[in-house]
């Protein structure tokens, strides 16, 4: 059972949180369920994020791995954790590309460790792509429909 499969804080390129990053590596979902002291875990695309729900209180970092950018399961994993009230760091790692940043942010990711560093200017533009949004999601933004019908 490998215990050091996580990204280090050094590899995190974008972080939208003020708290101290977790300083130890993440464990697998299986180890997390067995170990009572793990505070960082990594979700692979095939993992069911819901098995982590009983442990959310002790988790400070959840990494969601994107081995391939076209595999969108991690977006659901992220939202499921946020919907369950997880407030710790939610980090997208792996094949994280410029054009996914805005969607990932909406699904609740608040840190990003792309396996290839992204152009800062392109990324800043990508995070700001959508001034408004159609769907309610994990970022809590008021939607276009909400704005249309606010009193």
Partner 1 sequence: MYRYDQYDQAMVDARVEEFRDQARRRLEGKLTEDQFKPLRLMNGLYLQLHAYMLRVAIPYGTLDARQMEMLSHIADKYDRGYGHFTTRQNIQYNWIKLEDAADILADLATVEMHAIQTSGNCIRNISSDHFAGAAADEVVDPRPYAELMRQWSSFHPEFTYLPRKFKIAVIASEKDRAAMRLHDIGVRIIKRDGEVGAQFYAGGGMGRTPMIAPMIRDFVPLDQFITYAEACLRVYNRYGRRDNKYKARIKILVHELGAAEYIRQVEEEFAHMLTVGVEPPREELARIAEYFAPPAFVDGPKTVDRSDPDFALWVDRNTHRHKHDAYVSAVISLKPAGGIPGDATSEQMRIVAKLAREYSFDELRVMHTQNLLLPHVRIADLHAVWTALDEAGLGAANMDTIEDIIACPGLDYCSLANARSIPLAQRISERFAETGRTEVVGELKLKISGCINACGHHHAGHIGILGVDKKGKENFQLSLGGSEAEDVSLAKITGPGFDEDGVVAAVEKVTDVYLASRTEGERFLDTYRRIGMEPFKEALYD
Shortest distance (Å) from residue 131 CB to partner 1: 6
Candidate ranges 11-19, 27-35, 52-60, 124-132; the one touching partner 1 (CB under 8 A): 124-132
Draw the binding track, 1-40, toward partner 1 (x: CB under 8 A; -: no contact).
Answer: ----------------------------------------
**DSSP line for 110-140:** -EEEESSPPPHHHHHHHHTS-SS-SS--TT-
Q: Count other C-beta atoms under 10 Å from residue 23's C-beta.
A: 10
Euclidean distance between CA atoms 120 and 16, whole angstroms: 14
Q: Is 104 in the site for partner 1 (CB under 8 A)?
A: yes
Q: Name the nearest CA neighbour of 85 among 56, 59, 44.
A: 56
Question: What is the SS3 assignment for 11?
Answer: helix
Euclidean distance between CA atoms 22 and 58, whole angstroms: 12
Draw the binding track, 42-81, toward partner 1 (x: CB under 8 A; -: no contact).
Answer: ---x--x--------------------xxxxx-xx--x--
Shortest distance (Å) from residue 44 CB to partner 1: 12
Euclidean distance between CA atoms 25 and 33, whole angstroms: 16
Residues engaged in binding partner 1 (CB under 8 A): 45, 48, 69-73, 75-76, 79, 83, 97-100, 102-104, 106-107, 119, 122, 125, 129-137, 143-149
């Amino acid at each position: 059972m490998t215990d050091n499969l996580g990204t280090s804080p050094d590899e995190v390129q974008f972080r939208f949180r003020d708290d101290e990053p977790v300083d130890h590596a993440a464990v697998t979902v299986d180890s997390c369920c067995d170990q009572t002291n793990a505070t960082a875990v990594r979700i692979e695309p095939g993992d069911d994020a819901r098995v982590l729900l009983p442990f959310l209180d002790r988790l400070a970092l959840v990494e969601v791995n994107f081995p391939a950018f076209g595999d969108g399961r991690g977006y659901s994993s992220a939202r499921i954790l946020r919907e369950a009230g997880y407030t710790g760091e939610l980090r997208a790692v792996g094949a994280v590309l410029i054009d996914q940043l805005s969607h990932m942010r909406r699904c609740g990711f608040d840190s990003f460790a792309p396996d290839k560093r992204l152009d800062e200017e392109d990324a800043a533009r990508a995070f700001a792509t959508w001034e408004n949004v159609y769907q309610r999601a994990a970022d809590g933004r008021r939607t276009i429909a909400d704005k249309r019908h606010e009193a």
